[in-house]
Chain A
Amino acid sequence: MKNEEILRVEKLKVQFLNREKLKFSARKTGRWKIVLDEISFSIIEGETFGIVGETGSGKSTLARTLVGIYKPKSGRITLMGREINFKKREDLLYLRKNVGIVFQDPVGSLNPRLKIREIIREGLAIEEKLSRIDQDKKIDEISDLVGLADSKLDSYPNEISGGEKQRVSLARALVNNKRILILDEPTSSLDVSIQAQILNLLRKLKDELSITYIFITHDFNVIRYMCDRIGVLYYGQILEISSVHDIYENPLHPYSSDLMNANITLETENKFDSQYEIGEPSRSGCIYLNSCMKKFEKCNISPPEFNVNGRLVKCWLYESGKL
């Protein structure tokens, strides 16, 4: 792995018009619901960067913003040295050419009226002048690579299995060479043995295509197995960025540590007796204030990110930069 930054995200803010008044879903400022609250991270070429967070934390919004579907309110996205201006068509095109996405819902994202071959062809739409024959050649190649049988190319989405649908989504995302592939909960709707097949496939594809992954999931066993580094998202804020090894062996942020404690594996036994109290996000000060077991006075002010041996932690406990 080269140690070169491929994508940089700085103070990215995404907000939506606030429709649901009663829901505690994000910090709200009047009419706007801030779903991503000035998050920053950078991704190194060739790595698998994981994003974990519970439902509603903003994972899918981040994914959709990174491929230009949502426009940020403020902040900066720099892809391979080029800053993306979301108002410029050619910048968005540059983004879409280089960053692919596999959407969270494998069923809903496949047009039921199109044959599989045509669905994969959608991935070539931004490719200007490619003859039909060359397109078909690319479609055949990528189908082979993702393990989709030739015979399936003439089927419709409702005629194939869940695992096959996910292979189709992958083929569509990758039929045009990409530098980064965003995978939004790619296996959460699949059965365990099919999930295992897709995880194996993803690891193989990454080696063969030397691509960078952004892997979104709420499954801690999957993220440990797939990723090099992870960012922990909580209601629109990244609370910690660490290597997978570091965060599993020694989570720094109290939220990361609560999550790690709640995780169950095949080796744990009877982890259901422990008490967890995760409250609603705090409207002022540290966002984890209401749930934190380690809070102290200073936490009434929102903490910046502290760098602790190369790990980033948004928590006053690490103000000194030491463990």
Chain B
Amino acid sequence: MINIPGVISQEKGLKSELLLVKGLTVDFETFDKKIEVLKDVSLKIERGEVVTIVGESGSGKSTLAQAIIGVLDTPPAFVKRGEIYFDGVRIFPTDGKRVKFRGTGINMVFQEPLVSLNPVYTIRKQLLEAAEIGGIPEKGGEREKVIKNTLTELMIRDVERVLNSYPHQLSGGMRQRAAIAMAVIQRPKLVILDEPTTGLDLIVQRKIMGLLLNLRREINTSLLIITHDLAVAANMADRIYVMYAGRIVESGTRGDIIKDPLHPYSLMLRDSVPTGYKESGPLKVTEGAPPDMSALPTGCPFHPRCPNVMDICRKNVPPLKNIGDVREVACWLYEK
């Protein structure tokens, strides 16, 4: 479990956002090529806010999350530009200074749950430790109680067996839930979840989301949820960022993105989700797939699949422009 605790030193005094990412640009460099996996990505999360990032495989979502908590593998990944602030303090770059930590800060649940868990300890030991970090007192068996309740909340039936297991002895779905329990029990200021519900059953998904929203209600935790499931975003998010080919192509409130998407890619994502019966006709989606990041097309990376493509789209990359207070879009259609 990666845990970036709350920061106590370093220069204070930025805005009120809990997390602020500015102009993050990340390259993957291998011996034969260099690909720009994140290009000038900026985002912010307010205290108590639920933000989701949606986009398809390869769009850079996991890379972004790993860059935020500072666990990118270098090499091959190199952060070329950008700054990250958490809780008023710059956590990247740190100019060589060691950031001092205390208390609870950011917790991340990885897409591959084995990464979130320590292979040599039982789930019980890891969860008890999380409860300690979460400030739960030891006396009266409080910690044991909390970890059991949390697992029961996540619809784990044989709690004892799971607690006594090592991560590799559990199924993928079980590990995922253990990792989520661990993040929640620490009561952090921000939980980042990379595809937390993929492959889990409907009712378990509901339970996980319910647990996370409870945490926000109780201690104003912010959530950054990475998902390719638009329905999850539509039901959880206050705000949504849409990523395509390593760039943010649109952001706005849940209502903006789900009910009235501006970017043709956001629209295609929404129209890809079946919402009606058989009689409702074919889904509105164009052929093609997201581009190979090592061979991006010229101009707007979405132009080869875009139903509204214009000449300029083939030549120039559209900048991300503010439209209204909390809305941005990168598309030549909205350039006046």
Contact = CB atoms under 8 A, between A and B. Distances in A.
Q: Do A and B bind each other?
A: yes
Interface of A: 22-24, 48, 54-55, 147, 161-163, 188, 191-197, 199-200, 203, 218, 220-222, 224-228, 244-245, 248, 258-259, 262-274, 276, 278-280
Interface of B: 56-57, 155, 157-158, 161, 173, 199, 201-203, 206-207, 209-210, 213, 228-232, 234-236, 258, 268-278, 280, 282-283, 285, 287, 289-290
B206 A192 contact: no
B278 A221 contact: no
Given A196-B283, A203-B282, A264-B234, A24 B158 contact: yes
24 contacts: A23-B158, A54-B201, A163-B289, A191-B56, A191-B290, A192-B272, A193-B268, A193-B269, A194-B56, A194-B289, A196-B272, A196-B285, A218-B201, A221-B273, A222-B274, A225-B276, A226-B278, A258-B203, A264-B231, A265-B234, A268-B231, A272-B235, A273-B210, A273-B213
Top 10 nearest A-B pairs (CB, nearest first) are A225-B274, A196-B272, A191-B56, A272-B209, A196-B285, A196-B283, A54-B201, A192-B272, A272-B210, A264-B231
Contacts of A274: 206, 210
A271 B235 contact: yes
A193 B235 contact: no
A265 B231 contact: yes
A24 B174 CA distance: 13
Contacts of A192: 56, 228-230, 269, 272-273
Contacts of A221: 231, 273-275
A278 B204 CA distance: 9
Contacts, number: 127
Given A24-B157, A199-B283, A276 B207 contact: yes
Contacts of B199: 188
Contacts of A23: 158
Given A196-B283, A218-B201, A278-B155, A245 B206 contact: no
Contacts of B283: 196, 199-200, 225
B213 A278 contact: no
Contact of A218 (B202, B213, B275): B202
A221 B290 CA distance: 23
B289 A161 contact: yes
Contacts of B236: 270, 272
A267 B235 CA distance: 8
A193 B56 contact: yes
A278 B270 contact: no
- Residue among B236, B272, B280 with the most chain A CB within 10 A? B272
Contact of B232 (A161, A195, A264): A264
Contacts of B274: 196, 199, 221-222, 224-226
Nearest to B259: A266
